[in-house]
Amino acid sequence: MIAARLRRSPAPLLGLAAVATAAASWLPLLPVLPPLLTGDAFTGLAEPRLAGLFLRTLRLAGGAALLSLLLGLPLALLASRLAAPGRSLWRLLLPLPLLLPPLMIAQAWHGLTGMDGPLAALFALGVCAAPFPALLAARALERQAASSHEAALLAGGPRLALAEMLRTATPAALLGAAFAFVFAATDFAVPDYFASVGEKFSVYAAEVFNAWRRAGLDPADSASSYAEGMAVAAPLVALAGLVLLLALAAGDLTGGADRGSGRRPPLLPLGRAAAPAALLGLALTTLLVLLPLGRIAWETGRAGPLAGGSWSGRAGAAFDQALDLGREDLGRSLANAAWAGLGAMIVAPIWAHLLVRWRRRPRAVLLQTALALPLLAPAVGFGLGAIVVFNRDLFWNFYDGPGLPPLVLGGRYLPIAVFLLAERLSRVPREREEAAALAGASFAARLYRYRLGGAFGAWLLAGGLVAVFTVREVDLAILLPAANHTAAVRYFNALHFARDNFVAAFGLVIAAVLFLPVAAAAALRGLRGPEDR
Amino acid sequence: MPFLSVTGLARSFGRSQVLVEAGFDLERGGRLTIAGRSGSGKTTLLRILAGLERADRGVVRFDGVAASDGRRILLPPWRRPVQMVFQDLGLWPNRSVRRHLLDPLAAQGVPRAEARSRTRALLARLGLAPLARRRPGRLSGGEARRLAFARALAPEPELLLLDEPFASLDPVARAEGLALLDEVLAATRAAVVLVTHDPAEARALGGEVAVLRRGRLAPPRPAVEVCADDETFRRELAES
C-alpha cells in the first residue's frame, strides 16, 4: 500500500508544474517550431556569413567556459578544502561575480585595461561565469567522503589527496563550465558592449535580434523572422544542449558512488605551501571581484557628467542620483525576482522529483532536454518569442502588466533551479519519504516538507539563483515593454548614454542588494550549522 | 622496545570525555582488538593512532619515536608506517580497482615496474584481478571490501588499522568477511589493531583484546579468554 502511495502519480501537482512551465518556459519557444520542423528555417545556414558567426560564437563560448574552469576550479579548492589563510573570505566572495550584472564586469574591465573586441567579451563572460564551476566544484569537494580523503592521505600523502580532490571536483566543475558555455553562447549584451566601444563584431544572439528588426514589428512578420533568427542559433543551441546534458550525465555517473559516513572531510594541510596558496586565492579573488568592484567604485566619483567638486562629493552625488532615479526600477526588479524565485521554488521541486525518480532512464534525458531549452536559447530569441506569443489581443492586459516579466524571466532560469534541486533530492535518504508516506503524508507534504525540509539551503539557493538571474537579465528585459522599467534596463541604457558616475553607483547598489542576502545566508549557515549533506 | 606504544591518551569532544588515560603496547606483528560499545571512543583511538585526529593529552610512539604528543601531530599520517581500512571503506569513486593500488605506490615513489607487479600480485591474491578496470560504483559490497583491504596492504604497512570493517553485514557476508580477514592476515606481517564489537571478529584476529570502558582502556588480555564465548564477551562489553 505504501509502495502504491509512493508510486502514485501526483497528477494535480504535475499538472500545475506542466502548465506553469509551458506558459513560462516553452510557449516563448513555440514560434520557432514550425519552420524548424519543416526545415524552412535552415535554408540560410549555408551562408558563409552565418557559418562565420557560428564559429565566432563557438570560440567565444568555448573560451569563456575554459577560462571559467581555469579560474573557478582552483578557487573552489582554496575556498572549500585547502588549509590556507583567507578561506572563509574566498568562500564568501565566491558567488559575487555571478551576482554582478555581466555588463558591469565588462564596463569595469574595459575601464581598467581598455580591452575591446571578441577577446574582451570572452574574458568578461569567463570571469562572470567563473562562479558556476567554482560553486559546483566547491559543493562537490565539501561532500567528498571524509574517509576517502583520509585514505588518500594515508596511502599517498597530500599529493594523492589533492589528486583525489581534483577527481572529485572535476565532474561538477565541468558541469559548471557547461553552464558557462551556455550563458556565454546565448549572451547578447556583453559582446554588444565590447563591439560598441571598439572593434566591431557580432555574435549569433545579435543575428536573432537583427533578423527580427529587419522584418519590423508586425506580429505576423516578426513570427517568421524570429524563427529565422532562432534557426541561425539552432546548431549552437543543439551543441550547448549536448554539452550540458553530457556534463549532467557525467556528474550523475560519478557523483553518487561514495557518499561516506556523512562526516565532513577535513581540510588538506598545506604546510609551507599555505602562504603561496593564500596569495593565489587573493590573486583570483582580486581578478574576479576586487578589481572590477574597485574600478566601479572609483568610477562613481570619477570626473564625468557630475564634474566639479571632490571625488567623494561626486561619488556621493552619483549614489544619491542612483537611489533617487533607480529606486523604483530596482523595486520592480526585486518584485519580479521575488515572484520568479518563489515560482521556481514551487515548480522546480516537482520536476526535480521526476528527474530523480526517472534517473538513468531515457525519459529523464528527454525531460532534462525539454527543461533546459529556455536556457539554451538566446535570451534575445526567448524574449522575441514571448512577444510573438503574448503580444495579441487575447493577452493584451497581461502583456503590458506586471505578471509577464516574472513569468518569462523565471521561465528562462527555471532549469537552473530544477537541476540544482534534482542533484540535492537525489541525496535525501529514501527512508525519509517512506517514513512520511507511512505516516500518511500527501505527496506535496512529502516533497516540500519532509524531503526539502532537510535541504532548505539548497531549496532557498535554487529560488535565490532564479531571482538573481531575473534581476541581472538585460537581453530579455530590454525587449519586453513590461520589463523595460527595471534596474537592468536602466543600467543598460545609462551605460550606452555614457552616464558613468550614475552607472557605476547604480551597478554597486544592484550588486549590494543582491549580495546582502548571500552574506546573510552565509552568516546564518555559520550560526545554524550544516544541514543534511 | 615495543613497536607501538600508546600512553596516557585523552580526548574529549565538548563535555564528553571519550578517552581517559588510554594506553597499551603492541609488538611488531602483534594483534590487538579494541572492543567496546558503540560510541565508546574506539574509532577515535584508531584515528589518533593514524594521525588523522589530535589527542588532548598522551603520546603515541612508533619504535620509540613520538608520532603524536598531546595536541601536536609530530608525524603526519602519510609519514607513519600505518594503513587503515575505514568502516565506510572510503574508496575513490573515480579510480579503477587497479588505480586504487597503483597510485598510492606511485605517490610513495615505488618504481613503476615494481608497483605494477605488486599490484598484480595483490589483486590476484585477493581475487580482484578480473575486476581490475572497474570503478567502485560497479563492485559488489564484498568486492568493495576486498578492494579496501588490498589498498591498505599495497604499501606494505607495519601497522594495519581496521575500523569495524565488517559492521552491518548480513551473516553470510560476515562469514565471507572473516574468511577475507584470514586471507589478509596471511598476506601481511604487519601488526593489526582491529576495532569491533563482534566476538567472532576478535577471535578471528587472535592476539589480545582490550576493552574500552567509559573512555578507559582495560589492560589487554588474550582473545581466547575475553571472547571464549559470546556471553563472556557480552558481559565484558556490558560492564563498559
Rounded to whole angstroms, the Cα distance separating A150 from A421 reads 29
Q: Cell triple for residue A86?
A: 583567507
Q: Which of residues 124-163 of B touch A (CB under 8 A)?
A: 135-137, 151-152, 154-155
**Per-residue pLDDT band at A227 (split at 50, 70, 90):** low
User: Smallest Cβ distance to A155: which of B52, B76, B104?
Assistant: B104
Partner-chain contact A254 B52, CB within 8 Å: no
Question: Which class for A325: exposed (0-12), middle (13-18), buried (19 or more C-beta within 10 A)?
Answer: middle
Nearest CA to CA, how far is A178 from chain B (Å)?
Answer: 20
Question: Which chain A residues are closer than 8 Å to B83 by Cβ?
Answer: 154-155
| Three-class DSSP labels, A488-499 | HHHHHHHHHCCC
Could you tell me if A151 lies within 8 Å of chain B, comparing CB atoms?
A: yes
Q: What is the pLDDT of residue A253?
A: 45
Q: Cell triple for residue B31?
A: 594483534
Q: Name the residue among A346, A334, A384 with its Cα closest to residue A488.
A: A334
Partner-chain contact B107 A147, CB within 8 Å: no
- Cβ contacts of residue A328 below 8 Å, gap of 6+? A485
Decide: A429 and A356 in contact? Cβ < 8 Å: no
Structure confidence by residue, pLDDT tens digits, A483-496: 999 999 998 888 87
Nearest CA to CA, how far is A174 from chain B (Å)?
Answer: 15
Decide: B76 and B51 in contact? Cβ < 8 Å: yes
- CA nearest to B90 within chain A: A148
Partner-chain contact A257 B137, CB within 8 Å: yes
Structure confidence by residue, pLDDT tens digits, A461-510: 899 999 999 998 988 898 899 999 999 999 888 887 767 788 889 999 99
**Per-residue pLDDT band at A412 (split at 50, 70, 90):** very high
Q: What is the pLDDT of residue A529?
A: 44
Rounded to whole angstroms, the Cα distance separating A180 from A371 reads 17
Q: Name the residue among A387, A425, A366, A364 with its Cα closest to residue A28.
A: A387
Q: What is the DSSP letter of A440?
A: T
Question: Which chain A residues are closer than 8 Å to B104 by Cβ?
Answer: 152, 155-156, 160
| Three-class DSSP labels, B93-144 | CCCCHHHHHHHHHHHCCCCHHHHHHHHHHHHHHCCCHHHCCCCHHHCCHHHH
Question: Which chain B residues are closer than 8 Å to A173 by Cβ?
Answer: none
Structure confidence by residue, pLDDT tens digits, A280-311: 999 999 999 999 999 999 988 886 665 567 88
Q: What is the CATH number of domain A311-533?
A: 1.10.3720.10
Q: Where are the alpha helices (DSSP H) in A187-310?
A: 189-197, 204-215, 219-255, 274-285, 291-300
ipTM of the complex: 0.93
The yes-or-no verdict on residue B201 having pLDDT over 90 is no
The yes-or-no verdict on residue A194 having pLDDT over 90 is yes
C-beta atoms surrounding B4 within 10 Å: 23
Structure confidence by residue, pLDDT tens digits, B31-43: 999 998 888 889 9
Strands B216-217 and B221-222, how do they pair?
unpaired
Structural domain boundaries of chain A?
A: 33-262, 311-533
Structure confidence by residue, pLDDT tens digits, A231-274: 667 777 788 888 888 887 776 544 443 455 567 888 998 888 99
Per DSSP, what are the bridge partners of residue B17? B12
Determine the topology of domain A33-262 in CATH: MetI-like fold (1.10.3720)
| Three-class DSSP labels, A211-224 | HHHHHCCCHHHHHH
The average pLDDT across A33-52 equals 73
The average pLDDT across B129-153 equals 92
DSSP string of A354-421, one letter each residue? HHHHTTTSHHHHHHHHHHHHHHHS-HHHHHHHHHHHH-SGGGHHHHHSTTHHHHHHHHHHHHHHHHHH
Strands B82-85 and B159-163, how do they pair?
parallel
Q: What is the pLDDT of residue B229?
A: 82
Per DSSP, what are the bridge partners of residue B191? B159
Nearest CA to CA, how far is B72 from chain A (Å)?
Answer: 14
Nearest CA to CA, how far is B228 from chain A (Å)?
Answer: 32
